[in-house]
A and B are shown apart, each in its own frame.
Chain A
Amino acid sequence: MTGLSVRQLRVVFDGFVAVDGVDLDVPSGDVRFIIGPNGAGKTTLIDAITGLAKAGGSVTFDGQELLGRKVHRIARLGVGRTFQNSTVFEELTVLQNLDIAAGWSRGPLTLLRRRTSVPPEVQHALETIRLTAARDQLAGTLPHGQKQWLEIGMLLVQNARLFLLDEPVAGMSHEERDATGQLLGELSRDHTVVVIEHDMDFLRRFARTVTVMHAGRILSEGTVAEVQADPRVQEVYLGHAMEAGNA
Chain B
Amino acid sequence: MTMIQDAPITSNSSAAKAPRRFQALIGFGLAAVVLFGVAPVVLGDFRLSLLAKYLCMAIVAVGIGLAWGRGGMLTLGQGVFFGLGGYAMAMHLKLADAEPGQLPDFMQLYGQLDALPWWWKPFANPAFALAATVLLPMLVALLLGLLIFRRRVRGAYFAILSQALCAALAIFLIGQQGTTGGTNGLTDIQGFFGYDLNDPLNRRTVYFVVAAALLAVLGVAWQLMRSRYGELLVAVRDGEERVRFLGYDPANVKLVAYVVAAGMAGLAGALFVPAVGIISPALIGVVPSIEFVIGVAVGGRASLVGPALGAIAVAWARTALSERLPSAWTYFEGLLFILPVVFLPGGLASLAGFLRRRRAPEEVPA
Rounded to whole angstroms, the CA-CA distance of A96 and B242 in the bound complex is 15
Complex contact B228–A111 (CB within 8 A): yes
Q: Which of A83, A97, A103 has the most CB of B within 10 A?
A: A103
Is A221 among interface residues, defined by CB-CB distance under 8 A?
Answer: no
CA gap between A130 and B5 in the complex, in Å: 12
Tell me the nearest residue of chain A to B230, going by C-beta: A114
- Shortest CB-to-CB span from B365 to chain A, Å, is 5
Q: Is A80 a contact of B227 with CB atoms below 8 Å?
A: no
B325 within 8 A of A: no
Q: In the assembled complex, how far is the CB of residue A26 from the closest CB belonging to chain B, in whole angstroms?
A: 19
B212 beta carbon closer than 8 Å to chain A: no
- Tell whether A115 is near chain B: CB-to-CB under 8 Å: yes
The interface-forming segment of B35-43, B169-177, B245-253, B350-358 is B245-253
Task: Out of B1, B13, B227, B246, name the residue touching A158 (CB < 8 Å).
Answer: B246
With A112-B223, A133-B2 given, is the CB distance from A75 to B245 under 8 Å? yes
Asked whether A113 lies within 8 Å of B239 as measured between CB atoms, the reply is no
Q: Does B342 contact A (CB under 8 A)?
A: no
Is there an interface contact between B229 and A111, defined as CB atoms closer than 8 Å? Answer: yes
B238 touches A90 (CB 8 A): yes
Contact B242 A87 (CB under 8 A): yes
Contact A114 B245 (CB under 8 A): no
Q: Is A76's beta carbon under 8 Å from chain B?
A: yes
- In contact, B9 and A136 (Cβ under 8 angstroms): yes
Contacts A89-B239, A111-B232, A158-B246; A135 near B9 (Cβ below 8 A): yes
Q: Complex: how many Å from CA A81 to CA B229?
A: 23
Q: A71-B244, A72-B244, A104-B246 are in contact. Are A89 and B227 (CB under 8 A)?
A: no
B2 engages A114 (CB within 8 Å) = no
- A80 neighbours in B (Cβ, 8 Å): 245
Q: A75-B247, A110-B228, A132-B6 are in contact. Are A100 and B235 (CB under 8 A)?
A: yes
A81 to chain B, nearest CB (A): 6
The interface bits of chain B over 198-223 (1 if a CB of A lies within 8 angstroms of the residue's CB, else 0) are 00000000000000000000000001
Beyond A132-B3, A133-B2, whether A71 also contacts B234 by CB under 8 A is: no
Cβ < 8 Å to B, chain A residues 56-102:
70-72, 75-76, 80-81, 83, 87, 89-92, 96-97, 99-101
Contact indicator B365/A92 (Cβ below 8 Å): no
In the bound complex, how far is the Cα of B13 from the Cα of A136, in angstroms?
A: 8
Interface membership of B196, Cβ < 8 A: no
Whole-angstrom distance from the CB of B232 to the nearest CB of chain A?
6
Residues of chain A lying within 8 A (CB to CB) of residue B248: 72, 104
A89: chain B residues within 8 A (beta carbon): 234-235, 238-239, 242
**A91, B244: Cβ atoms under 8 Å?**
no
Interface contact A112-B229, CB-CB below 8 Å = yes
With both beta carbons as reference points, the residue of chain B lying nearest to A73 in the complex is identified as B247
- Is the C-beta of A154 less than 8 angstroms from some C-beta in chain B? yes
A44 within 8 Å of B (CB atoms):
no
Asked if B188 CB lies within 8 Å of chain A CBs, one says no
Residues B365 and A100 in contact, CB atoms below 8 Å apart:
no
What CA separation (Å) do A6 and B224 show in the bound complex?
42
Q: Give A127-186 interface residues, CB cut-off 8 Å to B.
A: 130, 132-133, 135-138, 141, 154, 158
Using known A-B contacts A92-B234, A99-B231, A113-B227, determine if residue A133 contacts B247 with beta carbons closer than 8 Å: no
On chain B, the residues within 8 Å of A100 by CB distance are 228, 231-232, 235, 243, 246
Q: How far is the CB of A88 from chain B (nearest CB, A)?
A: 8
Chain B residues closer than 8 Å to A50, beta-carbon distance: 245
Q: Give the residues in chain A near B232, CB-CB below 8 Å.
A: 100, 103, 111
Q: Are B247 and A76 in contact (CB under 8 A)?
A: yes
A106 within 8 A of B: yes
B231 touches A92 (CB 8 A): yes
B359 in contact (CB, < 8 A): no
What is the minimal beta-carbon distance from A182 to any residue of chain B, in angstroms? 13
**Does B324 belong to the interface (CB within 8 Å)?**
no
Q: Which residue of B lies closest to A118 (CB)?
A: B10
Instruction: Give the Cβ gap from B87 to chain A, nearest Cβ, in Å.
Output: 30
CB atoms of B246 and A133 under 8 A apart: no
Knowing A72-B244, A132-B3, A136-B365 are in contact, say whether A112-B227 is a contact too (CB < 8 A): yes
B151 at the interface (CB under 8 A from A): no
Chain B min CB distance to A30 (Å): 21
User: Quick one: which of B1-54 are within 8 Å of A by CB?
Assistant: 1-3, 5-6, 9-10, 13
B238-A81 in contact (CB<8A):
no
Q: Is the CB of A133 within 8 A of B228?
A: no
Residue-wise interface mask of A (206-229) relative to B, using a CB-CB cutoff of 8 A (1 in contact, 0 not): 000000000000000000000000
A115 interface neighbour in B228, B243, B244, B365, Cβ under 8 Å: B228
Closest residue of B by beta carbon distance from A76:
B247
CB nearest to B224 among chain A residues: A112
Residues of A within 8 A of B234 (CB): 89, 91-92
Chain B residues with CB under 8 A of A137: 365
Chain A residues positioned under 8 Å from B246 (CB to CB): 72, 75, 100-101, 104, 154, 158
5 contacts between A and B (CB under 8 A): A81-B245, A89-B238, A133-B3, A135-B9, A135-B13
Q: What are the 3 tightest A-B residue pairs by CB atom distance, in nearest-first order?
A: A104-B247, A75-B247, A71-B244
Given A87-B239, A133-B6, 13 extra CB contacts under 8 A = A71-B245, A72-B249, A75-B244, A75-B246, A89-B242, A91-B238, A96-B231, A104-B247, A104-B248, A105-B247, A113-B228, A132-B3, A158-B247
User: Which residues of chain B have a CB within 8 Å of any CB of chain A?
Assistant: 1-3, 5-6, 9-10, 13, 223-224, 226-229, 231-232, 234-235, 238-239, 242-249, 365
